[in-house]
A and B are shown apart, each in its own frame.
Chain A
Amino acid sequence: NAGVMQNPRHLVRRRGQEARLRCSPMKGHSHVYWYRQLPEEGLKFMVYLQKENIIDESGMPKERFSAEFPKEGPSILRIQQVVRGDSAAYFCASSPARGGLNTEAFFGQGTRLTVV
């Protein structure tokens, strides 16, 4: 039973390019959460999605960041026109039901984005 799969594991982008981070939740999970870990910091919530719906994006920067979770395929976190401050580890988690993070949370291995 595969866990939460994120790819790529490492991503290098030049300033101004776009970054696309993918997350495939665990089988049977329909809720996806994205977190960002800045250097020397804990993880910060960014966005919560269900299939084809954004439930809460209160932690996501208003500009340049977007997320989706289509009916088919992985969840995508997209960062347009990246800047050096976007360099971080981005983690995806999934759960089988709303509120699942209060009972069980499964995290992927993360994508480490470096902007040069």
Chain B
Amino acid sequence: GNSVTQMEGPVTLSEEAFLTINCTYTATGYPSLFWYVQYPGEGLQLLLKATKADDKGSNKGFEATYRKETTSFHLEKGSVQVSDSAVYFCALGAGSYQLTFGKGTKLSVIP
């Protein structure tokens, strides 16, 4: 079956630090890959996506590249801000209407 594994949190960084949140997946076929963000007390918002191998999704300074050879979709940002503090979920959609989510990684950015 499909599965998503993302790095355990919580992650605490100082403002302007570099962020990497690892995400690997298992799926049959050619899934689409997503990163969602959940700010405190809010629902999920789509942060970025990639629909085929070697695609790079980007938004708000965040980037992730769809690596089929390593089945990975790591999230990166060069300089985090306090406002980036949230829970980040990696997810895949594999030829159906269901999304499979990772457990989420909580990021805290301190001034």
Contacts and interface: CB of A to CB of B under 8 A. Distances in A.
Interface of A: 4, 6, 31, 33, 35, 40-45, 48, 55-56, 59, 91, 95, 98-110
B89 A100 contact: no
Interface in B1-47: 4, 32, 34, 36, 42-46
Interface residues of B, number: 23
Contact of B46 (A42, A43, A91, A104): A104
A59 B93 CA distance: 16
A100 B97 contact: yes
13 contacts: A6-B43, A31-B97, A42-B101, A42-B103, A45-B98, A55-B97, A59-B98, A101-B99, A102-B93, A102-B95, A104-B46, A105-B99, A107-B43
Contacts of A40: 103
A56 B42 contact: no
Contacts of B32: 102-103
What 6 A-B pairs are tightest by C-beta distance, nearest first? A42-B101, A109-B43, A102-B93, A107-B44, A43-B101, A45-B98
Nearest to B89: A42
Given A91-B43, A102-B32, A105-B46, A43 B93 contact: no
B96 interface: yes
A101 B103 contact: no
A98 B102 contact: no
Contacts of B100: 45
Nearest to B104: A42
